[in-house]
Structure 1
Amino acid sequence: MKKLLSRLVRWMAVAVPLALANCTHVPELGALADQGGTSQRRIVVSLGEQKARLYHQGKLVAVSPISSGREGKRSPVGRFSVIEKDIDHRSSLYGNYVRNGKVVKENIDIRKGGRPPGSKFEGVPMPYFLRFSGAYGLHEGNLPGYPASSGCIRLPKRQAKRFYDAVRLGTPVIVQR
């Protein structure tokens, strides 16, 4: 009996921490990037729900709140694929004019108005950028709780990184109303 009890205690000392670790830890999705082609993964964005979902082999593996394009700058709807990944992307359209390290004109659209003399354009940071169509992509950004972007799909930092790490070029991106 003592022997059996001793084995049981040793077994529990190993099994219980492993079981608890499996219950309490959600693994990062980066390992998905090493598991075959992109046909088994897809991102589905619901503009109506303001949610993005990541699927792997047909199973939902991540859900994230989003902020999509606001009125007049709506996010495109349709079937796309990831055509560029850029971990440190900056906007080429929106940002600030900076001179000697100081902002001289902020929140500008480079296509409108003039550049102050001696200044240079500094695009808004868009970390973990996944371009899926033209100038549009998914990336880390502010989520005020409603559509507020200039057309891109913003995600919170942790989820933007998870989606970025989990997909390859060619991964399908479906954006629906």
Structure 2
Amino acid sequence: MVLSEQRAYFYKGGRLAGVSPVSTGMPGHRTPTGNFRISEKKYSHRSNLYGHYVSRTGYVLRSNVDVRRHRRPPGAVFRGASMDFMMRINGPITMHAGRVPGYPASHGCIRLPWHMAKIFYQNATVGTRVTVVH
């Protein structure tokens, strides 16, 4: 993972097997650098910090909330942001499918386009090394 390029490089058997655009942490939510290992994988995951407050019938009452900063409106429930093909690399930091606008826009996670997240997920196992550099 090269933050300055907003690109992920996937190696298999020491050979480059794939390259994908990514979106990493925006200002104030940096993606940590270093050597990590995938510690958990989950096909269909939802954030427990970021998402939307919705009515009991599913109507969005407030979008793009951080449950630590935004109060829940009366009668609302929290629906976490979708994080399909989640691969945890460092505490709350994960690689997952998401919007990739071409610049850092996440809360620290590494977002991949849906089709590339699926490929990475299918080919990486728990224990796979992930290196993040500037």
TM-score greater than 0.5 by the shorter chain: yes
Deviations 1:64-115 (A, max 9, x none): 0111101110101001000110111111100011112111111100001311
Percent identical pairs in the alignment equals: 47
Q: Which amino acid in structure 2 is aligned with residue 131 of structure 1?
A: R
More helix by share: 1
| Structure 1 partner of 2:114 | 157
* 2-structure distance, mates of 1:89, 1:113: 22
Count of matched residue positions in the alignment of Structure 1 and Structure 2 = 133
Q: What are structure 1's unaligned runs of at least 5 residues?
A: 1-44
Separation of aligned partners in 2, 1:60 and 1:134: 27
| Equivalent position SS for 2:86 | strand
Distance 1:113 1:148 in 2: 19
Higher relative contact order (CA 8 A, sep 6+): 2
RMSD across aligned positions (CA): 0.8
Structure 2 unmatched runs, 5+ = none
The one of 60, 67, 81 aligned to 1:124:
81
Normalising by structure 1, we get a TM-score of 0.73
Structure showing greater radius of gyration is: 1
Residues in 2 aligned to 1:104 and 1:115: alpha-carbon distance in whole angstroms:
9
What residue is the counterpart of 2:125 in the other structure? 168
